[in-house]
Structure 1
Amino acid sequence: MRAVVNTDAGIRTVEVDEPERLPDGAPGGAGVRISVAAAGICGTDVQFVGAGITGFVYGHEFAGVDDNGTAYFVEPTLYGGTCEECRAGHPQRCVEPGHGNLGVFSDGGMAETVVVPEYTLLELPPRLDVRDAGLIEPGAVAWHALRRAQVRPGERLLVVGGATIGLLAAAAARYQGIDVDVEARHPHQLAAADKLGAGRPSGAYDVVIDAAGGESSLARSAEAARRGGRIVSLGVYLDKMPVPGSAVSQVKELTYVNSISYGRHDGVREVGEVASMLAEQPDIARTLITHRYPIEEAREAFRVAADRKAGAIKVVIEP
């Protein structure tokens, strides 16, 4: 079967063996076979390619159908389920052996077929197209950040960063009845924010979500926050997190809140909440998914995904 891997020559579509079953003793048993319908390219994937990271099939934003034709999103978080973090609803913080993510140092969903633990599956609402369902993953990242932000009625919210997760944070805020503004670098990102009902930046904010993950975006977030405001760090910092110094953060008494991945609350899966949002508001997917490529054109898909000036927001590979 065909799959997308990074090689010494860059991203390539190659032939690999069909998956059979999960190893004996793996949580979730032998696993469920899924024919992948679509897999999104994440900014992390692009970073990994640039860093030359190899050795696994890429893709942690994917959905497909089982042998009976039932459509599922695959939640890529791998966890044991018995540690204190898992029992508290935070599988993304699992400390048990084998925890991790499909498509991040282990084979993921940019392939024609995968075998995944049964507990990763989320059956899709009837109105959500399986080809759009990879958006659930970045959407859940954004949804979790909003929960961490604890935006109260009347508070002003700004999202810094107009890529997929920043725009999904804005979409989730609007879905939850929260007014939100978006600061983005590129005109096509601002146009997408407008379609999602977000405003343009003005004044100071009670809560700022840094969805870009860079030194300049974190500095801008601190600048935009009011005194006593909260910064939610949603961008991925691979080294140190460059928090602005005393001239801004301490003088303003800013609170910094970290947010990573997604989990559960009150027994509810955050990926399920996002699936409902996308099913009820199909314009979100129509706005954010800008490019679709067959799996044999994965190299071109990654090139476009890495070029923000090309007008790409979410690029999807369809095996």
Structure 2
Amino acid sequence: MNFAAGGVQGYTYGHEFAGTATDGRCYAVEPTVYCGECAQCRLGHVQRCIAQEHGTLGIFRDDGMCDAVTVPLSMLVPLPAGLHVRDACLVEPASVAWHGIRRAALVPGERVAVVGGGSIGLLAAAAARQEGFDVDIEVRHKHQRIAAERLEVGSPEGIYDVVIDAAGSEPGLARCAELARPGGRVVLLGVYQHTVPLPGVAGLVKELTYVHSIAYSRHDGIRDTEQAAALLAGHPTIAETVITHRFPLD
């Protein structure tokens, strides 16, 4: 979660949030602002909307970290049974992870590695496991390894068909290239503000394919956010593992 209201840029932050409506029903919020009319939106790629108003609630515009907020009905994601509203802040980051796994275009039998043991990395590993793939994760810290073990995700060994970059760093990308098999794919979930420091020699020699992934979309009329909510509802251990502390809005 980002900093609270009145941050350095004067916005009320918070794009990973959920809440209870006035009718008592609980929802997560898919915070993408999109036009719904451009070619990308019509294809379901609302995260690629080309309209001027495209953006995200809580990022350079007011939103979630407040007592009450109004959002369009189209942004509401009903919470399935088994997912408590207190844990539904994870729907948004889980959707980022789910979309990245879909962008990987995994084929049955492929091995998947994740580099980076933060929340996005752990959620990506959980999403890949949900899809039935063999998944390992490279982490830096002991508490991340403990979390990975709770999610039944192992440590990397050997080479992988697909490697997910959830570290967003130059050493992380180098490790991705090292773990990828010749002809393998690296999915970039890490955010790079400027130049992406791709390891040139390893990528060239192995003829690696780099796949960018951002936010979440729709496919076959289904939202990534809906599938992420179902993942969290079906596996309570994910929220129990990833959410470590809770703080009041104050």
Q: TM-score range by the shorter chain?
A: over 0.9
Q: Distance in 2 between matches of 1:4 and 1:155?
A: 41
Q: Could you say what the CA RMSD is over the residues aligned between the two structures, in angstroms?
A: 1.1
Q: Structure 1 segments of 4 or more deviating over 3 A?
A: none
Which residue, 7, 27, 33 being the options, matches 1:72? 27
Which amino acid in structure 2 is aligned with residue 55 of structure 1? G
Name 2:112's counterpart in structure 1. 157
Aligned residue number for residue 71 of structure 2: 116
Residue 5 of structure 2 contacts residue 66 of structure 2 at CA under 8 Å; is this kept in 1?
no
Counterpart of 2:12, as a letter, is V
Which residue does 2:139 correspond to in 1? 184
**Percentage of pairs with the same residue:** 57
Q: CA deviation digits over 1:179-208, x for unaligned, max 9?
A: 100000001101111111111111111110
How far apart are 1:279 and its partner, in Å?
A: 0.8
Shift of 1:117: 1.1
Counterpart residue number, 1:24: none
- CA offsets per residue over residues 20-77 of structure 1, 9 Å max, x none? xxxxxxxxxxxxxxxxxxxxxxxxxxxxxxxxx5121111000001111110111010
Give the alignment partner of residue 134 of structure 1, picking from 83, 89, 113.
89
Q: Which residue matches 1:278? A: 232
- The 5 Å alignment of 1:202-213 reads 202-213=157-168
Does 2:222 align with 1:268?
Answer: yes
Counterpart residue type for residue 105 of structure 1:
F
TM-superposed CA distance for 1:109, in Å, is 0.3
**Counterpart of 2:199 in structure 1: which amino acid?**
P
Gaps of 5+ in 2: none
Q: Write the distance in 1 (CA, Å) between the matches of 2:113 and 2:81.
A: 33
Q: Find the counterpart in structure 2 of residue 4 from structure 1.
A: 4
Q: Which deviations, in whole Å up to 9, do the C-alpha atoms of 1:255-288 show, x marking residues without a partner?
A: 1100001110000001001111111111110011
Match of 1:60 in 2: 15
Q: Is residue 2:191 matched to residue 1:236?
A: yes
Of 153, 170, 173 in structure 2, the residue corresponding to residue 198 of structure 1 is 153
Letter matched to residue 208 of structure 1: V
Q: CA deviation at 1:150?
A: 1.2
Identify which of 227, 242, 245 aligns with 1:288: 242
Q: Distance in 1 between matches of 2:103 and 2:27?
A: 27
| Number of equivalences | 248
Distance in 2 (CA, whole Å) between partners of 1:6 and 1:199 is: 41
Distance in structure 1 (CA, Å) of the matches to 2:206 and 2:132: 28
Check 1:290–1:69 CA distance in 2 against 1; reply closer, same or farther (3 A cut): same
Q: Are 1:5 and 1:54, in contact at CA under 8 Å, matched by a contact in 2? A: no
TM-score, length basis structure 2:
0.97
User: Which residue is equivalent to 1:10?
Assistant: none
CA–CA separation in structure 2 for the residues paired with 1:5 and 1:68? 26
Q: What is the CA distance between 1:4 and its match in structure 2?
A: 2.1
Larger % of strand: which?
Answer: 1
Letter in 2 for 1:190: R
**Secondary structure, in 3 states, of the residue corresponding to 1:295?**
coil
Decide whether the 8 Å contact of 2:34 with 2:47 is kept in 1.
yes
SS at match of 1:229: strand
1:70 partner amino acid:
R
Cα drift, residue 6 of structure 1: 4.7
Larger radius of gyration between Structure 1 and Structure 2 = 1
Q: Choose the corresponding residue for 1:248, options 188, 202, 219.
A: 202
**Unpaired segments of 5 or more residues in structure 1?**
8-52, 297-319
Q: Where does residue 221 of structure 1 map in the other structure?
A: 176
